[in-house]
Chain A
Amino acid sequence: MSSLRPSRALLGSTALVVVLVLAGCGGGSNGTSSSPAGPPVHGGSIVYGADREPTCLDPHNNGDMPQTYVARQFLDSLVSERPDGTVVPWLAESWTTSPDGLTYTFKIKQGVKFHDGTPLDAAAVKANFDQMLDPATQSLTDTGYLRPYYDSSRAVDPATFELKLKSPYSALLPVLSQAFFGIESPKAMARGLAGNCQSPVGTGPFVVKQWVHGQSVELDRNPDYNSAPADAKHQGPAYLDHVSWKFLEDGSVRFGAVQGDGADLIFNPPPQQNAALKSDPNLVLQEFTHTGLPNGIALNTTRFPFTDTAVRQAFIHGSNAEASVKSAYLGVFNWEPGPLTSTTPFLDKDLRDYYANDPAKANQLLDAAGWTQRDGDGFRTKDGRQLAATVIYSSDPGDSPPTDVTLYQDIQAAEKEIGFNVILKPIPQDQYYAAFTDKNATDGLAGAYWNSPTPLVLTLLYSTDSMVLAPGNNMSWVSNPAIDAPLKQIAAASDVEQQKHYYDQVQQLVAQNAYHLGLYPQTTRLVSKKHLQDVWIEPSEGEPVLHDAWLAK
């Protein structure tokens, strides 16, 4: 999970939101707590064990998972997404779309105040969009979604906000439902990035009281909260008085905390603890498989040796990905080749052959490409040059948990069998993030995933527009007109059959061209103590929602 991959909510079916069974790890106490523990109890304070500390609390800046998870607690968005992909009112009470699909008019809820007293109105919403697109905000996710489509916006009157697009964007509303597009106070944003990173101000059920770097974000209940989304379990202020959002990077420690007294709710226990988790009657597991691009290795098509499609294909066929994922993740995750996860709508399920483990085919491809000589270490050479690729990953254990490092080493060993030298290079976190926007940084980028509410994330991942307008999202640096055309069609299409046709086209091309070695789907797995009720996972980004949570006695 790196900072640049915002998760996209899914448009899929209800069953996907609360995944009850993920082949082999289901059963037991999964699912939302359904025990009738009586009416919600007001009061109480909980500790949430997060796996990573955000770099900035303002999710408009940058745009990574730790940011969106915590921002959901203190920011509201314009709309909220439902598991089936439709959206319901939130800060926008209603909206209309112009017939050409280029103008969206939102009615903004009145009587809502930001935590600093500023009233919520259309002007405030416009200020948010301006700030997102302002280079000083250094946004990656928000600009990635908006730049190809956004034209302008304005406040028609205090209750009416109008947004104009350059070209139709069928995924706009689900995109806006993410906490990445949470609405912040203009007065607070005016302080500048440094101030706003430290203590952003929203309208949400919790208020950022303090960010203790390296330790936690302290959140207090907002007693005046009156802007819950239409799909919340209740309206009105949160039940909990206080949430201590602690950063517990070490997976074993995090799990130990929720087993003991250290935490009430934690994010992603390590796979090693699965057995202990299942057998503990005091713990409840909720899982959500993100939609979007599965976590894997993005192959840089602009650098040797991955400029050659045959080499990329050989890399994928020789990676032994399926067995490696199963071994390293101890069966908790299944291998998913991509380019979309199993829970993403419009996934083309017939592409597995392009990604299957086939060393014979890999060898064949490399031989045909001229890599017939071998050097002393057994690696292939051609014209004196070794078949080698450097794969970088973040040395921060929050970004690259030990299990991922094991997985990379397993793949490295498999590639050695076909004569491919994969050099693993851990680099410091900030250098790793910087590598996303640098075409020459690396041959292969590990930890490449993209959580998104919409399969139209393929535009961010593989379109020329994305590479040019918001570099850093197109991680394989792909510019392929054959892909650009159908992607534009999907954005403009409203007929599901038509969309499916183009989605299939795009995915087929991505698979054929072997841009990405998919490994496993990004998953949010929340482990809570039994006494903490009504925590749920929202479907746009898998954000845990604490507004409805309460502590049973």
Chain B
Amino acid sequence: MTINVADGLTAAAAPPVVRSRSGRAVRPAVWLSGLFLLLVLAWAVIPTTFTSGTPFDTDIDAAVHAPSLQHWFGTDASGRDIYTRVVFGARSSLLIGVGATALALVTAIVFGFAAGLGGRFTDGLISRFLEVLLALPGLLLALVFIAVLGPGVSTDIVAVALGSAAGYAWMVRGQVIAVKDSGYVSAATALGHKRSRIIVRHVFPNAMRPLVVLATMGVGQSIVWSSSLSFLGLGVAPPAPEWGAMLDAGRDFVSTAWWLELFPGLAIVGCTLSVTVLGRHLQRRLEGRLT
């Protein structure tokens, strides 16, 4: 599991700033990351464009074959093409990754805004609740949730969302408070603008901006967390192609058939890396706009 960026940022109470020496030019790494993510998205949405088979095409005579022209990533223990399974696996991995992050964000916005805009009592209550949740490390929280409801795709999404929601909510709350007390909001209030209009036109967009960055990186983290859960045997049931489950299934072949572990692993690492690079790039751009 990658480092929970939200937790880290919360702890430091300020985002780590990476000062790029190269000015405002967009580095090639960012382009590559963007392209890779687009590719993975395409895999998720239109997998049949990239491969002709299905992820369930068993061919037991071709089990555990090394990468070749016929099978770019080799075959697994049931003779299924690993490249095809990686492509189709993008869907469940992205679904859980994006789904969990989206759910976490929605929850965070609700709680963060309620705390930031509500009265002292509401804020106090929600803040204390968030502090308690923040005390429980994200993955553990997810595990507790799974313990209660049993493993499965939807449970995984909610569990992963639960693990990161508190950190986002804390962030949102902080942002809302900061924006609320800022100059232009005071000016708008003085000018007599309606409260709801201020919220919609000023508070919301400005509070959400840094969250965009977090969310981008959060998707990567969600993907890793959900594949970790699969790896622990708490995810989707076979024969579903899911990157974490593929890694779990290939563990016994780790010294005899390296391709079973390498390619799904690269897919996950690739996603996480791309998402991190993109996120930090966004961060730099947004900071430029705010200062």
Does B181 sit within 8 A of A, measured CB to CB?
no
- CB-contacts of A417-469 with B (<8 A): 424-426
Task: Return the CB mask of A313-346 against B: 1 if under 8 Å, else 0.
Answer: 0000000100110011010000000000000000
Residues of A within 8 A of B64 (CB): 330
Residues of A within 8 A of B76 (CB): 406
* Residue of A402, A408, A424 with most partner-chain B CB within 10 A: A402
Does A397 sit within 8 A of B, measured CB to CB?
yes
Alpha-carbon distance A251/B249, docked complex (angstroms)? 12
In this complex, what residue of B is CB-closest to A414? B58
Given A327-B60, A412-B239, A270 and B252 contact (CB-CB distance below 8 Å) = yes
Does B63 sit within 8 A of A, measured CB to CB?
yes
Residues of B within 8 A of A402 (CB): 77, 248-249, 251-252
Partner of B256, one of A273, A323, A327: A273
Does A84 sit within 8 A of B, measured CB to CB?
no
Residue contact A403 to B77, C-beta cutoff 8 Å: yes
In this complex, what residue of B is CB-closest to A320? B60
Residue contact B239 to A272, C-beta cutoff 8 Å: no
Does A534 sit within 8 A of B, measured CB to CB?
no
Residues of B within 8 A of A330 (CB): 63-64
Partner of B78, one of A251, A276, A406: A406
Chain B interface category by residue count = 20 to 34
Residues of B within 8 A of A323 (CB): 60-61
Residue contact A409 to B256, C-beta cutoff 8 Å: no
Given A403-B77, A406-B78, A424 and B252 contact (CB-CB distance below 8 Å) = no
Does B144 sit within 8 A of A, measured CB to CB?
no
Partner of A410, one of B78, B251, B253, B256: B78
Alpha-carbon distance A484/B277, docked complex (angstroms)? 70
Residues of B within 8 A of A272 (CB): 252-253, 255-257
Alpha-carbon distance A272/B258, docked complex (angstroms)? 12
Does B110 sit within 8 A of A, measured CB to CB?
no
Given A272-B256, A273-B256, A424-B237, A413 and B251 contact (CB-CB distance below 8 Å) = no
- Number of residue pairs spanning A and B whose beta carbons lie under 8 angstroms apart: 71
Q: How far is the CB of B257 from chain A (nearest CB, A)?
A: 8
Does A250 sit within 8 A of B, measured CB to CB?
yes
Alpha-carbon distance A234/B145, docked complex (angstroms)? 55
Task: Return the CB mask of A282-320 against B: 1 if under 8 Å, else 0.
Answer: 000000000000000000000000000000000000001
Residues of A within 8 A of B256 (CB): 272-273, 275-276
In this complex, what residue of A is CB-closest to B79? A327
Does A215 sit within 8 A of B, measured CB to CB?
no
Does A405 sit within 8 A of B, measured CB to CB?
yes
Does A395 sit within 8 A of B, measured CB to CB?
yes
Alpha-carbon distance A13/B61, docked complex (angstroms)? 35
Task: Return the CB mask of B223-240 against A: 1 if under 8 Å, else 0.
Answer: 000000000010001110
Partner of B56, one of A250, A327, A413: A413
Residue contact A406 to B249, C-beta cutoff 8 Å: yes
Alpha-carbon distance A412/B60, docked complex (angstroms)? 12
Q: How far is the CB of B239 from chain A (nearest CB, A)?
A: 5
Does A235 sit within 8 A of B, measured CB to CB?
no
Residues of B within 8 A of A252 (CB): 251-252, 254-255
Q: How far is the CB of B73 from chain A (nearest CB, A)?
A: 17
Binding site for B on A (CB under 8 A): 250-252, 270, 272-273, 275-276, 320, 323-324, 327-328, 330, 395, 397, 401-403, 405-406, 408-410, 412-414, 424-426
Top 9 closest pairs, chain A to chain B, by CB: A413-B58, A327-B60, A406-B77, A270-B252, A409-B239, A327-B63, A272-B256, A402-B252, A409-B78
Q: What are 19 sample pairs from A and B whose C-beta atoms fall under 8 A apart? A: A250-B251, A251-B252, A252-B252, A252-B255, A272-B252, A272-B257, A323-B61, A324-B60, A327-B79, A328-B63, A330-B64, A395-B233, A397-B233, A401-B252, A405-B238, A406-B63, A410-B58, A413-B58, A425-B237
